[in-house]
């Protein structure tokens, strides 16, 4: 029994990964949203073999969850730019996930640019604390998510994927610019 397209969004992380699945026919009904956080911590003394095994295990967990929710389209949050830590490991993890989903499920994994996805959702990007603005906006809409990783997965990947498919998504209007009062001439 086919339910139609289901978009899976992934906020990939080495310690706590957010996964959010939404059917394209959700019509902004939050009860149709499925979400989970998965992760596997390692000590700083972990060997390279243990690091690779963790990435393989996380990729398999993502695949199993993708199959469980019936994902037909997948978007993963693209790598952050600027001064971020663990970029090589995050890139490797994304490679493991993309390979696992393609090899085992024949699912192509698109990349969602964080800034573009957040701008779509918020209407305009704030100068600072963009992730906090996303979390605050979602908190005003729903309490369905269990973690900020799941909220980020929804905004930075799932909502973007829905938008790309032409399905209902959240796209807030840009706020009106604040007009500064003019000083009266003396």
- Going by C-alpha positions, the residue among 119, 121, 167, 162 that lies closest to residue 141 is 121
Question: What pLDDT, in 10s, does the model give residues 67-109?
Answer: 999 999 999 988 766 666 678 888 888 899 999 999 999 998 9
In tens, the pLDDT along 20-63 reads 999 999 999 999 999 999 988 888 898 999 989 999 999 999 99
Query: Which domains are assigned to the chain?
Result: 6-165 (3.30.420.10)
Percent of the chain with pLDDT over 70: 94
- The neighbour count for residue 68, using CB atoms within 10 Å, is 11
Give strand pairing partners of 35. 20
């Amino acid at each position: 029994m086919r339910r139609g397209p289901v978009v899976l969004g992934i906020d990939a992380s080495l310690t706590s990964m957010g996964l959010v699945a939404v059917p394209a026919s959700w019509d902004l009904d939050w009860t149709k949203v499925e979400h989970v956080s998965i992760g596997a911590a390692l000590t700083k003394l972990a060997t390279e073999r243990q690091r690779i095994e963790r990435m393989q295990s996380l990729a398999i967990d993502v695949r199993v969850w993708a199959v469980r929710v019936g994902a037909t389209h997948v978007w993963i949050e693209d790598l952050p730019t600027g001064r971020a830590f663990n970029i090589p490991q995050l890139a490797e993890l994304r490679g493991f996930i993309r390979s696992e989903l393609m090899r085992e499920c024949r699912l192509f994994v698109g990349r969602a640019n964080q800034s573009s996805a957040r701008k779509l959702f918020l209407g305009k990007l704030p100068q600072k604390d963009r992730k906090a603005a996303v979390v605050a906006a979602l908190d005003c809409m729903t309490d369905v998510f269990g973690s900020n990783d799941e909220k980020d997965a929804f905004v930075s990947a799932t909502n973007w994927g829905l938008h790309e498919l032409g399905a209902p998504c959240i796209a807030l209007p840009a706020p009106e610019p604040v007009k500064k009062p003019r000083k009266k001439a003396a």
